[in-house]
Amino acid sequence: MIIVGVDGSVTARAAVEWAANDAFRMRVPLRIVHAVDRTPYQVGRYPNPSLPDVLLREGRRILREAEALVHERQPTVEVTTQEVEGAPATVLREQAKDATEIVVGSRGLGGFAGALLGSVSTHVAGHARCPVVVVRPEHRPVHGEVVVGVDDSPECEPALAYAFEQAKLRGATLRAVHAWQLPVHAFAPEATYDMDEVRTAQHQVVRDRLNAAREEYPQVTVVEDVHAAHPVDALVEASGQADLLVVGSHGRGAMGSMVLGSVSRGVLHHARCPVAVVRS
């Protein structure tokens, strides 16, 4: 099941459209979730007793409009709606237990004007244990390409599997981007490198990661794209001609809690297409 969070914003509408199309491709049901957060309205000496009812009515209106949008875009997708009381980030994180994928807009109605990424999308992408797709509101042409970040870490493997599956479902080319930088040795600034040897080793990293997946997805055309650059820069550049950018998350927070790694965080803030963050 795909779950999409809505709050009536333009980015939420874009998320619903994206989720409806992905549910159609995957042939799975879609659940539209709206979180009713009363907390900001329960502060003060004279709370408004009718406000909770207003919030619930508004939530039902938002859900009806989102459901109608799904029926308009993908009439054959099975869709349900759910209104849940609680903070949006917490509600969506809890929903991840039932989800194949969670889809959210890049920023909702509560975000700061001009912010590229809202607190809810940041939190969900950093904590949910299923793939999280963050969608921007801009309508873009279809490019027929899925981009995935590849490195030599174990966290790369689930992201690769998700990216190959998305490319197969879309009939798209998969661009595997591996970006590398020369290490900086603080105590040996005079160190020199054989650039051809380094470049060959980096190409091998990409091939080793891709070979197993290529056997499982022979129908997917793969383009290997290796850059001597910062990973965020290389992935953001590739996102300009992509329908989806997929990254694994290397983040680990205090006490082992999940948070976004620096690359996935940077990509979420700057990518020009929807971004999927995939955990191991």
Q: Are residues 150 and 265 in the same domain?
A: yes
100 is a domain residue: yes
158 is a domain residue: yes
Distances in whole angstroms, Cα of residue 166 to Cα of each of 7, 22, 169: 26, 9, 5
Task: Report the chain's mean pLDDT, rounded to a whole number.
Answer: 83
Q: Are residues 44 and 80 in the same domain?
A: yes
pLDDT of 111 reads 45
Looking up residue 214, the CATH number of its domain turns out to be: 3.40.50.12370
Q: Are residues 122 and 164 in the same domain?
A: no
Residue ranges for the chain with pLDDT beneath 70: 39-52, 108-117, 181-202, 250-260
Last residue of a domain, one of 114, 135, 156: 135
Looking up residue 45, the CATH number of its domain turns out to be: 3.40.50.620
Q: What is the C-alpha separation between 43 and 53, in angstroms, rounded?
A: 17
Q: Are residues 37 and 56 in the same domain?
A: yes
Q: Are residues 169 and 269 in the same domain?
A: yes
Last residue of a domain, one of 116, 135, 154: 135
Last residue of a domain, one of 135, 158, 173: 135
Q: Are residues 125 and 166 in the same domain?
A: no
Q: What is the C-alpha separation between 144 and 276, in angstroms, rounded?
A: 16
140 is a domain residue: no
Q: Are residues 88 and 114 in the same domain?
A: yes
Q: Are residues 14 and 108 in the same domain?
A: yes
Give me the number of domains the chain comprises: 2
Q: Are residues 184 and 129 in the same domain?
A: no
pTM: 0.84
- Residue in this structure with the two tokens 């390409």, named with its chain if needed: 145
pLDDT of 95 reads 86
Q: Are residues 92 and 172 in the same domain?
A: no
Where residue 153 falls (left for φ over 0; alpha for ψ -120 to 50; beta otherwise) is beta
Q: Are residues 87 and 168 in the same domain?
A: no
- Contact indicator for 23, 52 with CB cutoff of 8 Å: no
Question: Over the stretch 191-206, which tens digit does the pLDDT of each residue have?
Answer: 555 556 666 666 777 7
Can you give the residue range of the structural domain that contains 105? 2-135
Q: Are residues 177 and 68 in the same domain?
A: no
Question: Over the stretch 255-275, which tens digit does the pLDDT of each residue have?
Answer: 334 456 788 888 998 999 999
pLDDT of 256 reads 37
pLDDT of 126 reads 84
28 is a domain residue: yes
99 is a domain residue: yes
